[in-house]
Amino acid sequence: MSERIETLEFSGAELELIDRLKSLGPDNQEARESLVAWVQAEEVRANEINSPRANNEFDVKRAKLYRAAGFTREAWDILETMRVQLYSAGETDIYDEVMRIMDEMDEVGS
């Protein structure tokens, strides 16, 4: 498998968001609103780059953040959708990252 994609690591602010989301829980309205705000801001950045790769990297990062914050079903759904699209598009390094995350989620049951 290829190396992890470095641009998918979390910033300090994202780590704080993850901690906050964990403490609130996935059913909390405030947590959901925080996620929506983060997603919207990150989508703007990905759209400014205006490339399919930037959008794919954003989706992987979103899935990783959701998983780290305890929103595992949402993370799995994102990854499940992505893997077929990435394979078809020949984006092997991002596809490998998606499969690595999914395999890891299977192993730990999350």
Average pLDDT in the chain: 88
pLDDT tens per residue, range 73-106: 999 999 999 999 999 999 999 999 999 999 999 9
Do the domain assignments include residue 4? no
Expressed as residue numbers, the domain containing 45 is 11-108
Question: Which sign, positive or negative, has the C-alpha torsion 8, 74, 13, 85?
Answer: positive
In a domain, 56, yes or no: yes
Please spell the DSSP secondary structure of 23-69, one letter per residue: HH-TT-HHHHHHHHHHHHHHHHHHHHHT-HHHHHHHHHHHHHHHHHT
- Residue pLDDT, tens place only, 15-26: 999 999 999 988
| C-alpha dist (Å) from residue 67 to 16, 25, 42 | 14, 12, 17
Tokens of 35: 């996620």
Give the pLDDT score at 110: 61
**Mean per-residue pLDDT for 63-76?**
93
pLDDT at 8: 64
Residue 1 binned pLDDT confidence (cut-offs 50, 70, 90): very low
For residue 1, being part of any structural domain is answered with: no
**2, part of any domain:** no
The answer to the question of residue 90 being in a domain is yes
Q: How confident is the model at residue 27 (pLDDT cuts 50, 70, 90)?
A: confident
Q: Is residue 3 in some structural domain? A: no
In a domain, 72, yes or no: yes
The model's pTM: 0.84
Q: How many domains does the chain have?
A: 1
Is residue 6 in some structural domain? no
